[in-house]
Amino acid sequence: MSLMQLLWSFQGRIGRGQFWKGILIIIGLWLLISIVAGGVDAATRSAGPNGGMGVVASIIALIGFIAAVVAQLAVEVKRFHDRGKSGWWVLIALVPLIGAIWILVELGCLEGDQGPNAYGPNPVPTV
């Protein structure tokens, strides 16, 4: 699976290794967004209070935030597919504390379905 498919497609299945790879890439994306937006904000503050570029930093942060959330949802949906569950299970994350623990255990620790399921073939080759 290509990087673009991993981060932007909601179709198919991914194993635990690809899930963690996607999560690490998304964390890197968050860091990059923070650095760029912070740099733009710092540069505009040095121009004075009427520099007007604080809005640019906010727009960069908003676009980056939306991209990171969509990528995270795509990775999680494909991992739920690997577990034989609907992608709608990502909504479990909305339950405070329990949702985050559920996502961590279910997607990051447990094996996917052996063999093909309703969402596609097994992404992890078996020996």
Distance (Å, whole) CA 76 – CA 70: 10
Instruction: Answer yes or no: is pLDDT of 4 > 90.
Output: yes
pLDDT band, residue 39 (cuts 50/70/90): confident
pTM across the whole model: 0.86
* Closest to 80 measured CA to CA, from 15, 8, 4: 15
Higher pLDDT, 78 or 60: 78
Higher pLDDT, 13 or 53: 13
Q: Quickly state the pLDDT bin for 123 (edges 50, 70, 90).
A: very high
Q: How far apart are the C-alpha atoms of 74 and 22, rounded to whole Å?
A: 9
Q: Give domain limits for the chain.
A: 13-108
Q: Which of 8-22, 39-53, 80-94 has the lowest mean pLDDT?
A: 39-53
